Amino acid sequence: MTLPIRVLLVDDQELIRVGFRLVLEAEPDLDVVAEARDGDEAIALSARLQPDVVLMDVRMPRMDGVAATARIVAAQPATRVLVLTTFDLDEYALGALRAGASGFLLKDAQRHELVGAIRAAHRGDAVLAPSVTRRLLDTMLQSPPPPADGPDPAAVLTEREREVFAAIGRGLTNTEIAAELFLGESTVKTHVGRVLAKLGARDRVQAVIMAHRSGIVPPGAE
């Protein structure tokens, strides 16, 4: 029997936490293990409970979600953080992604979007809608690409791993990569893990940026 995904809720507003708990606990594969009111509590509870996924508000008193995300990801690399924001791709969401979050959700997300995002983060997928990926890259790709005669970060990858790397760079999920490359999802997951390890990428968000900076994904490709 598959163990449920253990979720930590972090938000300074009790009504929001109650609402999310009601939604998540109605799903048989999701288990809310605790609630935190700010970043400090989130860090302490994450260290003690080792949740699979942290649903993290970004605007909170004492310590905000960006700082808490950085601390949690550094201490518990296996824990995925999804940040909650009111405004689409605002500076808080960008800060959290830079800090190591696996993606972000708007607070008015539909029920299926919320539970789907938690499951995707737990699988290791980055939770970024295709429409957001382009704007994220436009904002985060501040440095110019390396010169044509510079080192190719993907040179350490096998041919199959380069194909997976390019697919990650286009924002595809493991399921979509499996369908495109005619592979099993477990095989894709293994390839993704190897790609991230060989590139020294912290997560898929960083891998997306590396893919575009290296030129393995042509400009405008999504």
- The CATH topology of domain 140-214 is Arc Repressor Mutant, subunit A (1.10.10)
Euclidean distance between CA atoms 44 and 38, whole angstroms = 10
Question: For 9-13, 36-40, 211-215, which range has the lowest pLDDT when averaged over its residues?
Answer: 211-215
Pairing between strand 103-106 and 80-85? parallel
Statement: residue 55 has pLDDT above 90: yes
Q: What is the pLDDT of residue 144?
A: 53
Euclidean distance between CA atoms 211 and 190, whole angstroms = 18
Q: What is the pLDDT of residue 214?
A: 79
Statement: residue 182 has pLDDT above 70: yes
Radius of gyration of the chain (CA): 17
In the chain, where are the structural domains located? Answer: 5-127, 140-214
Q: Which residue has the tokens 């010169």?
A: 147
pLDDT digits (tens, 9 = 90+) for 60-90: 888 888 899 999 999 998 899 998 887 665 6
Confidence of residue 2 (pLDDT cuts 50, 70, 90): confident
The mean pLDDT value for 19-35 works out to 95
C-beta separation of 203 from 127 below 8 A: no
Helix (H) or strand (E) holding 81: strand 80-85
* Average pLDDT, rounded, for the chain: 84
- Coil, strand or helix: which one is 110? coil
Euclidean distance between CA atoms 102 and 11, whole angstroms = 18
- Residue range 5-127, CATH number: 3.40.50.2300
Q: What is the pLDDT of residue 91?
A: 73
Statement: residue 138 has pLDDT above 80: no
